[in-house]
Chains A and B, each alone.
Chain A
Amino acid sequence: MSFDLASAIETLEGSFPGSITGTVEYRGETTVLVDKKDIAGICRTLKESFGFTFLAELTAVDYLEVKTPRFEMVYYLHRFGPEYDENVRIKLKAAVTEDDPKIDSVTPVWKGADWLEREVYDMFGIEFTGHPDPRRILMPEDYGPFPLRKDFDVRNREASKLSFEKALDQDAE
């Protein structure tokens, strides 16, 4: 029994009218463009009704001045199938604007989204509503800028040095 991805997407379009804005096929990958307001609901439906139990990837891309809206969230979901032999992968993309860089967290759906979302917040500054622990993960807690944004220079070590000096002062006390 093989899984019919196209019909699954059609059912999704029926359940969330207006939220699915398009489908793209490229190099063997199926991408579904989604409106960010329904992302949690769509993910939950995909997990519970269609068996996409494995969150393979969660990240973001900054399209500063290339296109608006500025950020795009990318989700890769994977379905094993009941006998672990189907292995279908689907990609969801949700656009996030610069003025309102917030999106619903999918941690209620997959616990594994926890650190992946924290990293997106740390690197891009996109906030996740409903995340259990919204803190920076890779940079120090008191770090200011969001490094993976395109307007941040890769060699800009000022914020890191500030954080380092503060930590040294704390140690000296």
Chain B
Amino acid sequence: MGVNTNSILGGDGFLTTTIEAFANWGRKNSLWPMPFGTACCAIEMMGVFASRFDLSRFGAEVARFSPRQADLMIVSGTITYKMASVCRRIYEQMPEPKWVIAMGSCTCGGGPFDSYAVVQGIDEFLPVDVYVGGCPPRPEALIDAVMKIQKKIDMEGAPVV
């Protein structure tokens, strides 16, 4: 994390770090997900928020359905062209910084539905940070994706070496 943990607080009583690292630590441990669930993956996502695979252990406690108060959009379920413009509009309503998880095969590349109404992957109109495959992915896979987002956030603002 870049924090100089020098026998914490029993020693000198202070830590040194950079502002980016501190902000990233705060952001990644308090992600406010916005569940954009449309189909079957939404049920597995509800399972992740429920008691067995609790996502609030990772700080993502506040699952807000309002995009203006969220920073992580979990798109789960098939996105059709009729719904795509709604999805894009919701994404644009989220304030920066924001991340997107594409959960499930349908969001990654259309899934089993290669038909006239389904978008073959939401990266046609949204910038995606983490893709999770599966139909539906196990809740552990979604938790792994959130952890990958946390790692990605850690690298924000870091100098490119």
Judged by CB atoms under 8 Å, the answer to whether A and B touch is yes
Query: A: which residues have CB within 8 A of B?
Result: 139-140, 147, 152-157, 159-161, 163-164, 167-168, 171
Q: Can you name the residue of chain B whose Cβ is closest to the Cβ of A164?
A: B81
CB-contact partner of A167 in B85, B114, B116, B117, under 8 A: B85
Q: Are A163 and B81 in contact (CB under 8 A)?
A: yes
Q: Are A168 and B115 in contact (CB under 8 A)?
A: no
CB-contact partner of A164 in B85, B114, B120, under 8 A: B85
Q: Can you name the residue of chain B whose Cβ is closest to the Cβ of A167?
A: B85
Contacting A at CB under 8 A, from B69-121, are 80-82, 84-85, 88-89, 114-117, 120
Residues of B within 8 A of A160 (CB): 80-82, 116-117
Q: Can you name the residue of chain B whose Cβ is closest to the Cβ of A152?
A: B116
A40 shortest CB reach to chain B, Å:
32
Q: Are B84 and A164 in contact (CB under 8 A)?
A: yes
Residues of B within 8 A of A154 (CB): 114-116
Q: Can you name the residue of chain B whose Cβ is closest to the Cβ of A153?
A: B116
A89 shortest CB reach to chain B, Å:
31
With the chains together, A164 CA to B85 CA distance in Å? 6
Residues of A within 8 A of B120 (CB): 157
With the chains together, A154 CA to B113 CA distance in Å? 10
Query: B: which residues have CB within 8 A of A?
Result: 80-82, 84-85, 88-89, 114-117, 120, 125
Residues of A within 8 A of B115 (CB): 154-155
Q: Are B116 and A168 in contact (CB under 8 A)?
A: no
With the chains together, A156 CA to B81 CA distance in Å? 12
**27 contacts across the A-B interface (CB closer than 8 A):** A139-B82, A140-B82, A147-B117, A152-B116, A154-B114, A154-B115, A155-B114, A155-B115, A155-B116, A157-B81, A157-B116, A157-B117, A157-B120, A159-B116, A160-B80, A160-B81, A160-B82, A160-B116, A160-B117, A161-B81, A163-B81, A164-B82, A164-B85, A167-B85, A168-B85, A171-B88, A171-B89
With the chains together, A39 CA to B89 CA distance in Å? 45
A162 shortest CB reach to chain B, Å:
9
B126 shortest CB reach to chain A, Å:
12
Q: Can you name the residue of chain B whose Cβ is closest to the Cβ of A163?
A: B81
With the chains together, A147 CA to B114 CA distance in Å? 14
Which of B81, B88, B115 has the most A CB atoms < 10 Å from its CB?
B81
Q: Can you name the residue of chain B whose Cβ is closest to the Cβ of A148?
A: B116
Which of B82, B88, B116, B117 has the most A CB atoms < 10 Å from its CB?
B116
Which of B82, B88, B125 has the most A CB atoms < 10 Å from its CB?
B82
Q: Can you name the residue of chain B whose Cβ is closest to the Cβ of A156?
A: B116
Which of B84, B114, B117, B125 has the most A CB atoms < 10 Å from its CB?
B117
Q: Can you name the residue of chain B whose Cβ is closest to the Cβ of A159?
A: B116
**8 closest cross-chain pairs (CB), A and B:** A167-B85, A160-B81, A164-B81, A140-B82, A168-B85, A171-B89, A164-B84, A156-B116
Q: Are B117 and A139 in contact (CB under 8 A)?
A: yes
With the chains together, A160 CA to B116 CA distance in Å? 7
